[in-house]
Homo-oligomer: A and B are copies of this chain.
Amino acid sequence: MYGLTAGAGARRFAPWPINAGGYEHGMSTAKNQVSPPEFGPAFQQTLGDLFAWRRDVRRFRTDPVPAELLDRIFDMACLSPSVGNSQPWRFVTVDEPARRQEVSRDFESANDAALQGYQGERAKLYASLKLAGLKEAPIHLAVFSDEETAQGHGLGQATMPETLRYSTVTAVYGLWLAARAFGVGVGWVSIIHPETVTGLLDVPESWTLVAYLCVGWPLQEQVKPELAVAGWQSRESLCRQILRR
């Protein structure tokens, strides 16, 4: 097993074979004359299980995640949809301990402030929740959206420019599902000050922080969301209605 090695700069990763008759991910010379695979009932059922068992993970082991496994997960994330095929997602791992600590401190400050917004029993419950695994997770992953990417040539964005950031969100969920399929947990930490965290990471000015993720091996598996188990918020039927117009 490999941990993430220290080092500056960017790391590319090797594509892994997709069942598409030799189609190489991302290579424009690939032929488009292949038959789609069959997604049968067993896969459909297991896909449902994957969706059901994917949690927002806050409790991690500190063990590293192998680099080649991360490669596969990122590769799948990059197959997510994007407006105009713009692919605006930008991944930054926050490896330096001092930076990680700054992010943890920012989380604690934002979390303390958030607690002030609740009273009584609700406040007690909030204070009891573990809402991030920033200290334990072997990987901190900041996912940015490049608001000025030329890719896609603006197609689809004229009246709904937010679709660029939404495209980056789909890459986050794609990464999340892919990770879960390999037993790797992801937790999305939004209890931070995005400008503060962005400022720590020395990224281009056109990049907007969309998601700050903890990634690693979860301490436990559960099929119910932690916030439902804790009594904060259960799943509601409202979201499963369809309005007809």
Contact = CB atoms under 8 A, between A and B. Distances in A.
B190 A83 contact: yes
Interface in A35-90: 35-37, 39, 43-54, 56, 72, 74-76, 78-81, 83-90
B190 A159 contact: yes
Given A39-B46, A52-B18, A191-B159, A30 B224 contact: yes
A229 B182 contact: no
Interface string A148-172: 0001111111111011011001101
A70 to B, nearest CB: 8
A219 interface: no
A90 B165 CA distance: 20
B13 A240 contact: yes
A243 B90 contact: yes
Interface residues of A, number: 127
Contact of A240 (B43, B75, B96, B224): B75
B84 A232 contact: yes
Interface string A1-29: 00000011111110010111001011010
Contact of A32 (B165, B210, B222): B222
A233 interface: yes
A44 to B, nearest CB: 5
Contacts of A183: 39
A56 B81 CA distance: 7
Contact of A237 (B12, B35, B79, B156): B12
A217 interface: no
Given A32-B223, A51-B174, A76-B48, A242 B93 contact: yes
A177 B174 CA distance: 9
A205 interface: no
A197 B110 CA distance: 37
A158 B239 contact: no
A177 B173 CA distance: 11
Nearest to A188: B81
A168 to B, nearest CB: 9
19 contacts: A11-B241, A26-B234, A32-B224, A36-B221, A39-B180, A43-B50, A48-B178, A54-B79, A56-B81, A84-B232, A91-B243, A93-B245, A99-B245, A114-B155, A117-B154, A118-B153, A169-B173, A173-B174, A200-B245
